Structure 1
Amino acid sequence: MFYSLISGAIPAFEHFGVFRFIFSAEWDPHPEAEQYGALSFITGTVLTSFLALVFCLPFSLPVALFTGEYFKGKKVASVISAVIDLLAGIPSIVYGLWGFYTLRPLIMDLGLSSQGFGILTASLVLAIMIIPYAASLSAEFISMVPRELKEGAYSLGATRLEVIRNVIFPASGSGIFASYILALGRALGETMAVTMLIGNTNNIPYSLGDTGNTMASVIANQFGEADGLKLSSLIAIGLLLFLITAIINFIGKLIMKKLS
């Protein structure tokens, strides 16, 4: 796969240069003066993914504490975990349709975007998509904290909140961090839901209400009709996305391996 991506991307890199391609925001398919650059799509990908992570945190962490600590081993935790697994398995196109018909009109009513499309809408849907993933992984690490540590804190008079803050979080913090790194990797490569909601414009977004494109969405939108230098440029964007996602997942897996 890596070899195929490199082979397809070489013409674009040779024509534009690697650094020029990465740091150029120009995307002009005019046959007589083709100019392609990945910067606007890299920016859109980074903005939507990191915003999704920020939106995800205050919802996924309480769920993880609920299932991994407060009600660990009880039926209610099993039911919630099953629901989380179910939500994680919903196809992204379904999330995209929900966002299009439910979230987009809400964004318009609030005046945050004139058409409801843009970075904010795409980020919110991405956040909803990665909440089950982050919550499930974080709950596993929270539940792995040795019971002896918690019982020792309780025997010294610590409250439940103090145990969570001073025992559980320090003991499982690296694992929780790795969970969110892996959730970020999940968000980076998301395609269909983002494509339906981001607006699909080839420009750098400067505000949450601006439209844009991610690396995955521009490939999904334009790959079918591309050829020549444009096709090579899209493959080069795919190669960059592959590398970014691989590095982030490697970091997350490395942290998890050190904890196991």
Structure 2
Amino acid sequence: MDITTKNTQAPPPTPQPTAAQHKRNARGATRPGDRVFLGLARGSGIFLLVIMAAIAVFLTWRAAVAISKDEGNFLTTFEWNTAGNEPVFGIAVLAYGTIISSIIAMAIAVPIAVAIALFLTHYAPRKLSGPIAYVIDLLAAVPSIVYGLWGALILVPHMDGLFGWLNDYFSWTGIFDWEGGPARSMLTVGILLAIMILPIITNVSREVFRQVPQMHEEAALALGATRWEVIRMAVIPFGRSGVISASMLGLGRALGETMAVATVLSPDFLIHGSLLNPGGGTFAQNIASKFGEADNFGRDALIASGLVLFVITLLVNGAARMIIARRKEYSGANA
């Protein structure tokens, strides 16, 4: 009876952490290895913030020196002349070209990238999806100057047919009115940027769609949904925040792309109503083109334009974070 009683007794309850222990664990790690890792992680985050602050201070300081001597309006002037006795320069054309080319690139690249990611994860057989994914990964590693050379030598000469078709059927809109000449325009730049950012958005979106819980898809199929309805009701809502993040990564490259744009675009300091006529400029292209021949003041002026690009990038990323925060119910962490 004693043995039976001893064996049937319930094990003693596991002691639960006290409130003080919870508070101590929340403040930091208690083991030496955990403390070292916590210090390294925290230090890395602080170091990143210090670098960002240092960049902002440097750009602001050098930009203030240049803008204080600018005889024109820095935001609205359609000219870039920093070598004269009365320097006049502005970013109106550069801001317009940067934003327009990035919008064109995103409008082309994002739908195609999402479609490719969905095809690779939910339609293509494994023997086919593997090689396609490998090729896309290789495209992401191609240097910018290679894209630029391909754009100048292959893309530009073969754009006449598309430009002629757009001019024949959509010239009445004003933005597709083509007066002839080489296709070194903002539309060509946008198409080239779309090709460059396509692998980035595709790869990140593909990995996000692969993280969709299998039970979500199986539940939709059990309710009689078709494959497209499963994607529309389960896959896309789950991966929406990830697709937004992937798009922001691609947009960041489009905003700051330098050599490819400088190789393809025929720059000037005019805002053209048509996307087909050559001309325009971007922040990165203007800095790359003029930095080597600029004097100290000219470089300060280019740094001032770089500050504007820096601010635009911060605003874009901040807006993306706000959009993602509003859709927390679709994040993978809350699935």
> Normalising to structure 2: TM-score of the pair?
0.71
Structure 1: runs of 5 or more not aligned: none
Aligned counterpart, 1:120? 187
Q: Equivalents in 2 of 1:186, 1:86: separation in Å?
A: 17
Which gives a bigger RCO, structure 1 or 2 (Cα 8 Å, sep 6+)? 1
| Structure 2 residue corresponding to 1:65, chosen from 110, 115, 118 | 118
Structure 2: runs of 5 or more not aligned: 1-54, 165-177
Q: Secondary structure at the match of 2:292?
A: helix
Q: For the aligned residues, what is the CA RMSD?
A: 2.3
Aligned counterpart, 2:145? 93
Aligned counterpart, 1:107? 159
1:160 aligns with 2:160: no
Aligned counterpart, 2:309? 241
Q: Equivalents in 2 of 1:193, 1:228: separation in Å?
A: 26
Q: Secondary structure at the match of 1:206?
A: coil
Deviates more, 1:114-123 or 1:199-208: 199-208
1:221 aligns with 2:305: no
Q: Equivalents in 2 of 1:231, 1:249: separation in Å?
A: 27
User: CA shift at 1:252, angstroms?
Assistant: 4.4
Aligned counterpart, 2:89? 36
Higher-Rg structure is 2
Q: Equivalents in 2 of 1:66, 1:179: separation in Å?
A: 17
Q: Percent identity?
A: 39
| Structure 2 residue corresponding to 1:3, chosen from 32, 57, 75 | 57
The superposition leaves residues 197-256 of structure 1 with CA deviations (integer Å, 9 ceiling, x where unpaired) of 121212223221131110000000001111243221111011111222233345546739
Deviates more, 1:123-132 or 1:8-17: 8-17
Please list every run of at least 4 consecutive aligned residues from structure 1 whose deviation after the TM superposition is greater than 6 angstroms. none
The superposition leaves residues 69-122 of structure 1 with CA deviations (integer Å, 9 ceiling, x where unpaired) of 3348x2422222211110000001111111111111112344355112110111
Does the CA contact (< 8 Å) of 2:63 and 2:307 recur in 1?
A: yes
Q: Equivalents in 1 of 2:280, 2:160: separation in Å?
A: 17
The total of aligned residue pairs comes to: 258
User: CA shift at 1:57, angstroms?
Assistant: 2.5
> Normalising to structure 1: TM-score of the pair?
0.90
Aligned counterpart, 1:174? 241
1:140 aligns with 2:194: no
Does the CA contact (< 8 Å) of 1:40 and 1:205 recur in 2?
A: no
Q: Secondary structure at the match of 1:181?
A: helix
Q: Secondary structure at the match of 1:23?
A: coil
User: CA shift at 1:21, angstroms?
Assistant: 1.3
